[in-house]
Structure 1
Amino acid sequence: MTFRGCIRGGKLLFPLVLAAGLLLPAGALQAGGEKPKLVLRVYIQNEDPGSRSMPLNLTDPDQTIHINVDPEASERDLEAVEPYAGENGETGAVIHFSRHAGLLLNAVTIQKTGKILVVSLNGRIVYSPVIDTVINETLLIPRGVTPEDMALLQAMVKENKKHGFGN
């Protein structure tokens, strides 16, 4: 699809397409019964609901925010992942991003302290804290990571190393 094909009736269709990609499970968009792949997205709240942002409904806290359509980091930026034992038996993950993604996260979390960071795994929002510290290459997700998510995260790290992503 060309960029021109993404405009209908004078309106840009990318926000709808991207919102669908954020909210649908990764396997829902694949054909032929292929094994679902990991979709990891890290977004930062955007105060300017312009053409490059889209609304996102959060449940904890219950509110609607705007995020940039382009994530600050994704599964291609993964370099390593470790399980994290959270409180009350909840499981999380410690995610290590590439240096490039770490520099981006550093800059944006300095600029957007007090805004909301959103982490999505396979279309499911697993973490949405208020930014109160600078994030570099390492991000702690204290809860919401299932054993299946962890297996996909670890498989993606191996794929990234194999293909040279995340460097």
Structure 2
Amino acid sequence: MNREAIAAFVEASRGAPRLMGVDLGTKTIGLALSDVGRQIASSLETIRRVKFTPDAGRLAELCGRHQVGGLVIGLPLNMDGSEGPRVQSTRSFVRNLKPILPLPVFFHDERLSSAAVNRMLIDADTSRARRGEVVDKLAAAYILQGFLDVMRGLLEAETEEPATW
């Protein structure tokens, strides 16, 4: 992971205390929110995708309400690390979102995030219907928590002190 890119994202997102994790699917958008200390990610909600404008409007509304300073977007890379059509779709969504929601964006590898969350829900004996309701927002929390952990680890390694935001 690129330390300079993470440090630049952290600096650019300092204007507000929280980060939002986004799991962008074709039918839904899973959302998660960090705490103000940027230590813990919690699932927030799942947006049922309709069209770009209302989807982006809802995202912007939630970012304003929760004082979000930056977005951590799950990047759906192929298992070999290459970029396929889903990555292109994600990057296109973010390009179109920029004029509506001018927040810094960090793309974080989301490979296997939904699979990990589904496995956790199955282990918790969650019904198939309930899994369908919560998997996207939990995947967003999984993506955001992964980023928060990497961010904290990299920045603490540079300063040899606990990270503060």
TM-based fold match above 0.5: no
Scaled to the shorter chain, the TM-score interval is: under 0.3
The structure with more strand, counted as a fraction of residues:
1
TM (normalized to structure 1)? 0.24
The structure with more helix, counted as a fraction of residues:
2
Which has the higher Rg, Structure 1 or Structure 2?
1
TM (normalized to structure 2)? 0.24
